[in-house]
């Protein structure tokens, strides 16, 4: 513990990141540049999210990390351990008990509260990059609110696939102003982007931080005749029977058997604890 400043980063760096966070909250959806630091993990492992979490955590916080909804994958475990070691904060797997949640590619199923902060790991913060690779041009497009190009992408989806096939990182317009990449969460989660908690987004490699304050209007882009749909597998969870949660498909064998389980492991566990049972729950227990 003595070798590290609280939460790894030095205080000056945390101040710099907090300024970026505050600016991001003041201008919802706007990508604030920040001087991303080298972190003791490779880019792509959540360096942006880790820096935002480090600047956000206080000693009293309870920290939770999820990766694709799960608390027990390598990435989630490593980052949780990292802050246990460098900040000494309490950690939890329960969404209810956490005050700061760092996430990769999901929003927890449980409704988040005003006293919670969710930190997203973002690989590519620029939603316009798909069609316009020049950063100078995309920044100008944001400042002038020229977002026609975003719909060109959706148009291409429909013309090539018959429907908007973008299933994750589905672009949204925040507070009627900035178009934002919500990080690669499934579009099923887009509806949850209007929430009570503070949402912070960190992109380490790209050196950008952006934010959505509580109770902010977040609209998923669409066409009048192809409205946005928050889709999920049409199936209940095979472990807890939940019909309202985002599901992962698990291939069981090479005979074509498969099961669908909640991607949010904490949600699934808490439902099973209070007695909900899915189709394959028994076999799984055995």
Partner 1 sequence: MTPLLQVKGIEKRYGARIGCTDVSFDLYPGEVMGIVGESGSGKSTLLNCMAGHLEPDAGQVIFDTRADGPVDTVTMSEPGRRMLSRTDWAFVHQHARDGLRMSVSAGGNIGERLMAVGDRHYGAIRDRAIDWLGRVEIDVTRVDDRPTAFSGGMQQRLQIARNLVTGPRLVFMDEPTGGLDVSVQARLLDLLRGLVREMGLSAIIVTHDLAVVRLLADRLMVMKGGHVVEAGLTDQVLDDPQHAYTQLLVSSVLQV
Q: Is 262 a catalytic residue?
A: yes
Are 118 and 200 in contact, with CB atoms under 8 Å apart? yes
User: Does the footprint of partner 1 cover residue 43 (CB under 8 A)?
Assistant: no
- Could you tell me which stretch among 206-214, 224-232, 249-257, 269-277 binds partner 1 (CB under 8 A)? 224-232
CB contact set of 224 (below 8 Å; sequence gap of 6+):
none
Q: Is 278 a catalytic residue?
A: no
User: Does the footprint of partner 1 cover residue 144 (CB under 8 A)?
Assistant: yes
Would you give the DSSP letter of residue 38?
Answer: P
Minimal distance, residue 192 CB to partner 1, in Å: 24
Minimal distance, residue 136 CB to partner 1, in Å: 13
User: Does the footprint of partner 1 cover residue 159 (CB under 8 A)?
Assistant: yes
Handedness of CA 78, 191, 268, 273 (dihedral sign): positive
Q: Which is nearer to partner 1, 27 or 280 (CB)?
A: 27
User: Does the footprint of partner 1 cover residue 151 (CB under 8 A)?
Assistant: yes
Minimal distance, residue 56 CB to partner 1, in Å: 35
One of 6, 43, 155, 168 touching partner 1 (CB under 8 A): 155
**Helix boundaries (H) for the chain:** 11-26, 47-56, 74-86, 135-143, 148-161, 265-273, 281-285
3-class DSSP assignment, residue 1: coil
Q: Is 24 a catalytic residue?
A: no
Q: Is 240 a catalytic residue?
A: yes
Q: Is 202 a catalytic residue?
A: no
Minimal distance, residue 144 CB to partner 1, in Å: 5
Minimal distance, residue 149 CB to partner 1, in Å: 7
Are 220 and 174 in contact, with CB atoms under 8 Å apart? no
Minimal distance, residue 138 CB to partner 1, in Å: 14
Pairwise CA distance, residues 49 & 17, whole Å: 11
One of 219, 226, 235, 277 touching partner 1 (CB under 8 A): 226
With b for 16 or more beta-carbon neighbours within 10 A and e for fewer, the 213-238 pattern comes to: bbebebbbbeeeeeebeeebeeebbb
Would you give the DSSP letter of residue 188?
Answer: G
Pairwise CA distance, residues 211 & 200, whole Å: 4
Are 101 and 95 in contact, with CB atoms under 8 Å apart? yes
- Number of residues lying near partner 1 (CB under 8 A): 17
User: Does the footprint of partner 1 cover residue 146 (CB under 8 A)?
Assistant: yes
One of 38, 115, 225, 254 touching partner 1 (CB under 8 A): 225
Burial grade of 133 (CB within 10 A; 0-12, 13-18, 19 or more): exposed
Structure tokens at 270: 């808490």
- Could you tell me which stretch among 93-101, 150-158, 184-192, 272-280 binds partner 1 (CB under 8 A)? 150-158
User: Does the footprint of partner 1 cover residue 160 (CB under 8 A)?
Assistant: yes
Catalytic residue annotation: 29, 237, 240, 262, 268
Residues forming the site for partner 1 (CB under 8 A) = 131, 144, 146, 148-149, 151-152, 155-156, 158-160, 222-226
């Amino acid at each position: 513990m003595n070798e590290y400043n609280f939460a790894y980063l030095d205080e000056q760096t945390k101040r710099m990141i907090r300024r970026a966070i505050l600016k991001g909250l003041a201008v919802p959806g706007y990508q604030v540049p920040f001087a991303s630091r080298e972190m003791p993990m490779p880019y792509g492992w959540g360096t942006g999210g880790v820096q935002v979490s480090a600047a956000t955590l206080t000693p009293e916080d309870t920290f939770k990390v999820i990766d694709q909804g799960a608390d027990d994958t390598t990435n989630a475990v490593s980052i949780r351990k990292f802050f246990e070691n460098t900040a000494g904060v309490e950690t939890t797997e329960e969404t209810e008990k956490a005050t700061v949640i760092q996430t990769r590619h999901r929003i927890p199923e449980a409704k988040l509260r005003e006293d919670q902060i969710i930190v997203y790991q973002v690989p590519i913060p620029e939603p316009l990059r798909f069609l316009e690779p020049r950063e100078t041009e995309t920044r100008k497009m944001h400042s002038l609110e020229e977002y026609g190009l975003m719909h060109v992408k959706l148009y291409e989806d429909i013309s090539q696939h018959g429907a908007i096939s973008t299933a994750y990182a589905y672009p949204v317009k925040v507070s009627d102003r900035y178009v934002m990449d919500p990080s690669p969460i499934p579009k099923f989660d887009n509806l949850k982007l209007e929430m009570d908690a503070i949402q912070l987004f960190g992109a380490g490699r790209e050196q950008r931080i952006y934010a959505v304050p509580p109770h902010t209007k977040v609209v998923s882009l669409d066409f009048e005749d192809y409205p946005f749909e928050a889709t999920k597998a049409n199936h209940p969870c095979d472990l807890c029977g939940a019909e309202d949660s985002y599901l992962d498909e698990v291939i069981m064998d090479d005979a074509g058997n498969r099961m669908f389980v909640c991607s949010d492991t904490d949600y699934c566990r808490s439902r099973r604890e209070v007695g909900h049972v899915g189709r394959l729950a028994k076999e799984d227990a055995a």
